[in-house]
Structure 1
Amino acid sequence: MTSAEHTRRLGRRLLLALAALALLVALWPNARSLYDLTGEEQWRGQAAGVIHWLNTAVRPQPTLEPGEVAGSPLAYPAVSPFGVNTFLHQEAEPEKRARTLDLLAAAGFRFIREEFPWEDIEIHGKGDFVDRRNDPAGVDAWAKYDQIVGLAAERNIAVIARLSNPPAWTRAAGDEIGTNAPPDDFNDFGDFAATVAERYRGRIRYYQLWNEPNGNEEWGRQDVNPEAFAELLCLAHDRIKAVDPSAVVLAGALTPTVANDGRNMNDLIFLERMLAAGAGECFDVFSAQGYGLWSGPTDQRLRPTVINYAHNLFLRDILVRHGYAAKPIWISEMGWNTAPEDIAPTYGRVTEAQQARYTVGAYRRAQDEWPWIGVNNYWFFRRPSDSEVSQAWYYFRMLEPDFTPLPVYDAVAGYVAGGPSGSPMPGWQVEWMRWRPVFFLFGAGVLFYALLRALAPRE
């Protein structure tokens, strides 16, 4: 064998070794267990999950650009990641509102996402803030909201005021196209948003404009319209900022869906069209939903057509690619459902023990791996009554209507009290996962070529 042939053979072996190493690096899981990788606890689910993960890990990954990588800090950092959705405006007794907030504060929650339904405040007509639905003499429609804001402030809990649900008088068709349909004149919503912001200036800083405009009839019983929503969002954003420049405006969270049937639009497509219509300059914080459905919070599978807890990474990718890496995402609703066996598992089904573990895991993962996530609002704390006990969505609750805590409440309270137990993901791991597909293509390509060359007939 000549020296040149020896060098070529050595080079081929080195190339094959590098290809095998690249393939190993590409397929090495960033997990200590199959549960950490797939979010599945049963072996069948884990086996299928590994196959799904292998398929997604070697595809192009979302561009995430954590703050330190993007070169600029995230705007509007949250003082705490711990938030929860409340229904205090539906609670008839002021004492129960106070008790609810006491339990929230005791658990360590620093944010509540509380709806300020337009239809419950400016009820009967433009500029009319007197509620005459049950009392002809009328009562101040602001009174209970003033109390909620005051009670929250006394407990050092910040309010994220969700503004949505237009009254029937804002539409010529009334409620025929749905109670959530937008007003005929978007300026009416802008006027309402400005009125709320002016009234609560210095007491409420965070306003979320609308909720799930891409489906679930939250745009009414009509086709959704990302361009129209962008117009509505920008108008209300500008009106709020005009009366309170320190206000933080959150874009309404998009429902994670793969549907594209007119009344529902895939959230990724909806966001692309929103941004193309100019919505990117009309919010300080973007919002996402964080439902786990059928897998736990550790699920690392990433496909745009699969809805799991990590789905927000695709929203982050779109924001980064459009130049909004400095804008954080706050999760509006996060949770797992414990619907009993006699109720259809519309939102997945877990045990109460799993719900408790998964919720703590969701807070931990967001804190450790996703630095662009700010407040993470659990869905939900408590309902005023058990009248919805036959409906699947009722089983996200942390407390029973009689204030009996469920395991998820105690688990979150314990986690908050103990402080984060993990550590943030180092930047090299983020880069490694981004380069996985490149390593895979190189390793698989070289090894496949070597196999074909070995199988080729020799002359």
Structure 2
Amino acid sequence: MKPLSREAGPRVFAIIVTLAMVAGLGLAFYLPSVAGNDLRFWLIAAWSGAREEQHATAPGTLVSPRVENGLGVNTFLEQEVEPSKRARTLSMARDAGFHWIRQEFRWEEIEPATKGEFLDPKFGNNTWEKYDQIVDTATVLGLEIIARLDTSPPWARPGNRHAFTPPERLDDYGDFVAAVASRYRGRLHYYQIWNEPNLSFEWGNQPVDAVATTELLKVAYTRIKAVDPSAVILAPALAPTLADGPGALNELVFLQQMYDAGAAAYFEIGSVQAYGLRDGPDDRRLGNGDVNFSRPLLFRALMVRNGDAAKPIWISEFGWNVPPPGHEGPYVYGNVTEDQQARYTVRALDRARTEWPWVGVMNLWYLKRADDREAGTLLAGFRLLDPDFTPRPVYGAVRDYAKRVGLL
């Protein structure tokens, strides 16, 4: 038999994998949906790997800032009432190998009632105290904080009851971020300006607006740098979506509109979410009519085209969802078992570490909530720890990964 040429080999392999995928997906269809995920995801990974699209991601370009330990996790420490529970949460983050936490510094909580007044109107206590303890404890434990600066107090958004509404006056937001940077100069070094502004419900249920987002970013960058020139500014974390309307806008379109509005000079780190959703960590398709873990490749290519090859991307949120028992759909965030969640998370970390040199910190969504009000909902299926601090399998898997790669 005549041997296959180098050119023919990959094509034949792709055909074989495609035929196997058709047969395998037929089998997976008859398996219980969760049990069939591993087979379906493996076939998709093999098929997409054989015909992976190439994008100009400038893998040889050194990005800055660089990090040695990029293992991060989202926290909700502001929800904990007891300081001891905040400290325990941070200790468990450190013990799992996390070096970074992405933590909200909620403007609506810190300056709630009146501009320039940092008092809780109900109890009269200083609203900085809780955040002081978060920063102090994280510092003692050697954890770096990505301070997510968003929400606005009612007085800054008259006529809109939604907390995630941009302020009526950008200077008010500028004063707030400057106050945060001034108070924590030398202890906080990384600031993220807003979250998912390409989704309407994260923008006050108003039409999304990349130009307005860029103006918010410019004000925040300028005011923080005036207080702390060494501070590092992360661009708003954009949500992956294929939507094209006022309620949600494709993050690639939104990012390009931000570049067109002059955003490049006002951030040092790009930021995007990278949820696995309905596919596994090795799904390499980028044009399959859905979003997946590989989508940051398109985000990176867009940054390169806009002259930002030297800037890293930090993944602000990623993970896989375990729906609650008895949930029959829809599976908005995907549908995996706890074991699959653990394995896919570790594989995602390995893939980013070995294939994406332009990725810095990867923040899992999320460590824990203070209480169980989300019990029985899909959102609870992302957490690493239950409210009573009971670890889920993904927590142990991340800890084992950290040990394996020398982070613990």
Question: TM-score when scaled to structure 1?
Answer: 0.80
1:64 aligns with 2:57: yes
Post-superposition Cα deviations, 1:169-211, rounded to whole Å, max 9, x if no partner, equal 1123131xx2211111111111111110011000000100000
CA distance in 2, matches of 1:264, 1:44: 29
Count of residues in correspondence between the two structures: 387
Equivalent residue for 1:404, pick from 369, 390, 408: 390
CA distance in 2, matches of 1:44, 1:187: 51
1:108 paired with 2:94, answer: no
User: Can you list the C-alpha shifts for 1:345-365, whole angstroms capped at 9, x where unaligned?
Assistant: 220111000111111111111
Q: Which residue of 2 aligns with 1:441?
A: none
Q: Give the secondary-structure state (helix, strand or coil) at the position aligned to 1:139.
A: coil
Equivalent in the alignment of 1:270: 254
Matched letter for residue 88 of structure 1 = L
| Partner-residue secondary structure (3-state), 2:94 | helix
Q: Which amino acid in structure 2 is aligned with residue 64 of structure 1?
A: T
The alignment's C-alpha RMSD in Å is 2.4
Give the partner amino acid of 2:82: E
Q: d(CA) in 2 for partners of 1:260 and 1:130?
A: 41
Alignment-derived partner of residue 199 in structure 1? 183
Q: CA deviation at 1:21?
A: 3.5
Gaps of 5+ in 1: 1-16, 422-459
Counterpart in 2 of 1:418?
Answer: 404
Any idea what SS the aligned residue of 1:187 has?
helix
Gaps of 5+ in 2: 26-35
Does residue 362 of structure 1 match 2:355? no
Same amino acid, percent of matched pairs: 46
* Counterpart position of 1:232: 216
- Which residue identity lines up with residue 74 of structure 2 in the other structure? N
1:60-459 matches, within 5 Å, as: 61-66=54-59, 69-70=60-61, 73-132=62-121, 134-135=122-123, 138-175=124-161, 178-303=162-287, 305-343=289-327, 344=329, 345-419=331-405
- Once the 2 structures are TM-superposed, how far is the Cα of residue 326 of structure 1 from its aligned partner? 0.4
Amino acid of the structure 2 residue aligned with 1:130 = L
Q: CA deviation at 1:339?
A: 0.8
Higher RCO, Cα 8 Å, sep 6+: 1
Q: CA deviation at 1:46?
A: 5.1
Q: Give the Cα–Cα distance (whole angstroms) in 1 for the partners of residues 382 and 183 of structure 2.
A: 32
Once residues 128 and 205 of structure 2 are traced to their aligned partners in structure 1, the CA distance between those partners, rounded to angstroms, is: 29
Shift of 1:270: 0.4
Displacement after TM superposition at 1:335 (Å): 0.6
> 1:47 Cα shift?
5.0
CA distance in 2, matches of 1:414, 1:120: 36
CA-CA distance at 1:261 after TM superposition: 2.2
CA 1:306–1:74 in 2, change beyond 3 Å: closer, same or farther? same
Q: 1:78 to 1:342 in 2, by over 3 A?
A: same
Residue type of the alignment partner of 1:100: T
1:250 Cα shift?
0.4
CA distance in 2, matches of 1:123, 1:157: 28
State the alpha-carbon separation in 1 of the partners of residues 275 and 265 from structure 2.
Answer: 27
Over 3 Å counting, the alpha-carbon distance change for 1:309 and 1:216 in structure 2 is farther
- Distance in 2 (CA, whole Å) between partners of 1:128 and 1:26 is 66
Give the structure-2-normalised TM-score. Answer: 0.89
Deviation of 1:105 (Å): 1.1
Shift of 1:24: 3.2
Distance, in Å, in 2 between the alignment partners of 1:316 and 1:332 is: 14
Distance in 1 between the 2:245 and 2:198 partners?
A: 11
Aligned counterparts of 1:165 and 1:230: Cα–Cα separation in 2: 16
Q: 1:234: how far off? A: 1.0
SS at match of 2:368: coil
Which residue of 2 is the match for residue 433 of structure 1? none
Question: Which entry has the higher C-alpha Rg, 1 or 2?
Answer: 1
Give the deviation of 1:403 after TM superposition: 0.6
Q: Does the Cα contact within 8 Å between 2:41 and 2:280 map onto a contact in 1?
A: no
CA distance in 1, matches of 2:230, 2:47: 48
Distance in 2, Cα, partners of 1:347 & 1:369: 25
